[in-house]
Structure 1
Amino acid sequence: MPPPRALPGFYFDAEKNRYFPIKNPIPGSSSKKPKITTPKSPQTDQFQEKSRSSCRKLRNRISKLLQIRELDGRHVSASHYCKCNFTEEFRRIRTSQPTIWKYQGTDRMCISALEHLNVDVQTLEGRFRTDVLLSGSISGSLSFSEVGRIGQNFNDGVKWMPYCMKSNIKGKEDGHSKVPGPLFRHNGASLHMSSRISCIRLGPNLAPHVASDSPIVGNALFTTLGSETSGGSVYTISLVEPIDLGAGILNTWSRLEEITSFMCTLWTAEYDYNRHRAIIGTNQGGASVDLESGTRSWFLRCKSDVFAQQIVDSGNVVLCGLRNGEVVSVDFRKKRLLSSRFPEHRISYVSSDKRVGSSNQGGFKLAGNIYPSHTIKMPSSISCLASLKYDDQYFLASSVDGSIKLYDRRMLQRGAVQSYEGHVNSHTQIQLGVDPDERYVMSGGEDCKLRIWSIKSGELLLEDKFSNSVLTTVCYQSFKKFKAEEENQYTYNSSLGAWLGSYEGLFYMDWQ
């Protein structure tokens, strides 16, 4: 009898004279074969505990990790009980060991909003491309600060120098090989607004998702919170042409334009890149503002403040995080309605805390083009929302009770996909920071500690206290623009870095 013909994905059993499919392991499942369970002796328990301990020590020994990789290849195996991917393990080690700098003299900035951008700056010596921090404070001050070399030519201003608070490189505690540049601010580089700067967002050409070493400069959007006597306002500032951060700073501020004002509190804002609009979260609901004409229209009306927003679904839907803990999905595109009234909804939400859900009777009323089935409720007021740009079906949500969770908009009925433990909060709006590769999420806490988690696994990678106040704002920088100074006094770190702001001052964190 001729031998059977080979079929891809099948094997032939000669005894049963038939083909059987080759069943691969389920993705994410263990590749270990089932074992016969036997009673464990104390010696066995001690052996397993030592194995787990050696696995933990592996994360702190990069040189050993490299040696094992060379011997064993892609998968690092420290023991029978610990196997990991070399690249992932190395990234976790690097993320858990940042170098932290504090800028001396920034303790009175009281930062409430912060963005890093790369723009053309005009000086007496010519035009340069440089990094700039645009920051807002709780007192209403809006400021430009130049990072690096150009500000050294300013005759009238302040200079803030960084000093290393923490370094994980041996022998570099006092002198680091890669020092971030100093900050320069001209005396006229601050503009005082009527109330606290509640939010700063970069325009489409300055958005972090633009993948370019030299992005085209556009504009920036910011909002003021409002006060007891007046509401908040929406502003833009053009950055298309080179800005002057020195003696001609007034020419830069002349580009500032007030788009519109509200008779209510403006908590947050997002930039709708597709339609050149600002999406505003207020104490009366959500509104859309045309940045060309100033025309505004409401897309959500509710009695609960909108504390956080994120635009998803290719710019057609906005997630609104409310004071009462709900996250609702709203279609904010303009639609032709038979009447001027919004459709009203009573939301029956999926609670991330069963105890909270059982105590609520009848849901919550709000008006707008709501997707009732795409609504969740967290235990307390929403502090921050952050969608993942690689797949905006996923979004991170934090609430002021200390909960941080990852959700999939396609499976909200099943609850959170991942939880991140250890966060401390009770009443503060704290911004979540997601790195450009969307592997990690960081957040300050009311215990003044900074924490970093793996988005995928939920593992806490870093828990460190280096500030005496809550780190409420964070923004990443990943531009690779600065060159070393001639004297090599300052070299700009082209690796990933993050700016952290608090009432105490300004911090910079990098991974080298």
Structure 2
Amino acid sequence: MPMQLPGLYWDAERNRYFPLSSKPKVPAAISQSGPKKHESSEAATAGDRPTATRSLKRKRISTWNATELSRTTCYAHGRYRAAHDILCSQYAETSRATVLKVPVFGRIKSFCSTTLDGQRRRFLGDSRGWLYGPTPAPTSSTDPDLWGADLNLQPESEISTISVSGARCVATCFGPKAKISVQDLNAAGSTCLLSFKNVHDIWSAHLEDISLVLGLGAGANKKAVYLPDIDVSTSIRILETGSDVFSVWQHENMIYTGCRNGSILRFDKRVGKHGQKLFTDRFSSHQRSSVLHLQTLKASQLLTSHMNGDLLTFDLRFTRQTTPIVQYAGHTNTYTQRLGIALDPDEEFLFAAGEDNRIRGWPIDGPGRGCSPFMKVFAGVVETMQVTEEPEGACLWAACDQLLYQFHLGQRV
């Protein structure tokens, strides 16, 4: 019998200890009758250090067998795996979707949804600098009357990001005179605009509580910007990256930047403007590719998306490790900078839009099975996505041109 160690749990199937913070949640049991099939993944077991990449490829699995396993097994991990398989199967068979043509002036570039005091708020940003919302959604979440143009940050410059934390909403735009919109959602009409000298062409942003990180592009910047307090905003800190910053993320005291030259840097907010390069050994034998998206997972992992189509998870405890712990197979990209990517609120499933105008899905960890949420081919590239918990269940939001799709995950028409 494995020993009980503080802060760790024993995974009998993988024969090793893991941090309690990374212990997978058991999905709610889902009833299902009759045998069904769906696409899934294979995961190779890694050693004590993450030296082997688990490539999540798709294969077929019987939902009937998974249901029987969840009913008969006496092992908690087996029940979790079976329930996860059933959930993947239902996600793969999603066919219920609501499509709304939003009255925007340009193409939808950014989307964000949040819930505050029981009210759902939706935000949109378009390719011509217009920001739409926020507006409470008392009835239907896709009522066209809920969308209205609130302000224009920069004419003919796209809204590059919309980020919400608590009761604050920050929107940024790409352009030579970029402005930052800060809204207090608790006070109707309370919006202020920020602008800083030599801060322009904002490609990415991430708001956490009152601190904001900006990633700057367009050649001459080669830096990220950190604002410790957006309510005061009297001073900013420059983070030297040596390359345009396509993606940023912050978690507690750490800031992560993904650059055009493929570098990933980690900055400590308590130290200064110079960061630590992560996973540098990976590029000794591999060509670098621009980092389009990154974010932390389960406190000890880093999810990254690259322009060459790599979709990877790294272990932040071993920052010199050359091999990612998971590589999500099937994602397609060769040159497109803006592709939607989203995680469910429990960080169990990953969804990514591809250059082939499809959306694919994978489980994050690999103890469960992979799935494809639906087989829709969009008319163009999906540039922004988000997974939300709605009263009717989990929903995947995806925007393409002037259309906003709400896919009700696991539900069929």
TM range, normalised to the smaller chain? 0.7 to 0.9
Counterpart in the other structure of 2:290:
381
- Does residue 225 (structure 1) correspond to residue 162 (structure 2)? The answer is no
1:338-487 correspondence runs (5 A): 349-351=280-282, 354-356=285-287, 379-388=288-297, 391-414=298-321, 415-428=323-336, 429-457=338-366, 460-462=370-372, 464-480=375-391
| Distance of aligned partners of 1:102 and 1:261 in 2 relative to their CA distance in 1, 3 Å threshold | farther
Alpha-carbon displacement from aligned partner over 1:477-505 (angstroms, at most 9, x marks no partner): 2154xxxxxxxxxxxx1x11121112251
Contact 1:397 1:405 in 2 (8 A): yes
Give the superposition deviation at 1:115: 0.8
Segments of structure 2 that go 5 or more residues without pairing to the other structure are: 3-9, 17-58
Segments of structure 1 that go 5 or more residues without pairing to the other structure are: 1-7, 10-23, 31-54, 77-81, 121-128, 151-179, 206-217, 244-251, 336-341, 357-378, 481-492
Q: Specify which of 184, 200, 217 is matched with residue 144 of structure 2.
A: 184
Q: Specify which of 271, 284, 287 is matched with residue 225 of structure 2.
A: 287
Contact 2:397 2:406 in 1 (8 A): yes
1:155-166 correspondence runs (5 A): none
Q: Give the letter for the 2:180 counterpart.
A: V
Counterpart in the other structure of 1:88:
84
| Distance of aligned partners of 1:97 and 1:266 in 2 relative to their CA distance in 1, 3 Å threshold | same
Counterpart in the other structure of 2:40:
none
CA distance in 1, matches of 2:226, 2:192: 17
Q: Specify which of 23, 28, 40 is matched with residue 14 of structure 2.
A: 28
> How many correspondences in the alignment?
348
Give the superposition deviation at 1:104: 3.8
Give the superposition deviation at 1:75: 7.1
Counterpart in the other structure of 2:99:
103
Give the superposition deviation at 1:113: 1.1
| Distance of aligned partners of 1:343 and 1:426 in 2 relative to their CA distance in 1, 3 Å threshold | closer
Superposition TM-score, scaled by structure 1 size: 0.61
CA distance in 2, matches of 1:319, 1:343: 12
Give the superposition deviation at 1:262: 4.3
Identical columns (%): 18
Give the superposition deviation at 1:57: 5.1
Q: Give the letter for the 2:335 counterpart.
A: H
CA distance in 1, matches of 2:110, 2:295: 16
Partner SS state of residue 94, structure 1: helix
Counterpart in the other structure of 1:39:
none
Q: Give the letter for the 1:256 counterpart.
A: T
CA distance in 1, matches of 2:69, 2:403: 42
- Does residue 333 (structure 1) correspond to residue 270 (structure 2)? The answer is yes
- Does residue 196 (structure 1) correspond to residue 196 (structure 2)? The answer is no
Q: Which one has a bigger Cα radius of gyration?
A: 1
Superposition TM-score, scaled by structure 2 size: 0.74
Q: Calculate the aligned-residue CA RMSD, in Å.
A: 3.4
Partner SS state of residue 95, structure 1: helix
CA distance in 1, matches of 2:69, 2:277: 58
- Does residue 56 (structure 1) correspond to residue 60 (structure 2)? The answer is yes
1:249-268 correspondence runs (5 A): 252=189, 255-263=190-198, 264-268=200-204
| Distance of aligned partners of 1:408 and 1:272 in 2 relative to their CA distance in 1, 3 Å threshold | same
| Distance of aligned partners of 1:92 and 1:301 in 2 relative to their CA distance in 1, 3 Å threshold | same
CA distance in 2, matches of 1:188, 1:420: 38
Give the superposition deviation at 1:27: 4.4
| Distance of aligned partners of 1:353 and 1:417 in 2 relative to their CA distance in 1, 3 Å threshold | farther
Give the superposition deviation at 1:56: 3.1
CA distance in 2, matches of 1:85, 1:347: 32
Contact 1:474 1:498 in 2 (8 A): yes
| Distance of aligned partners of 1:28 and 1:506 in 2 relative to their CA distance in 1, 3 Å threshold | same
Counterpart in the other structure of 1:304:
243
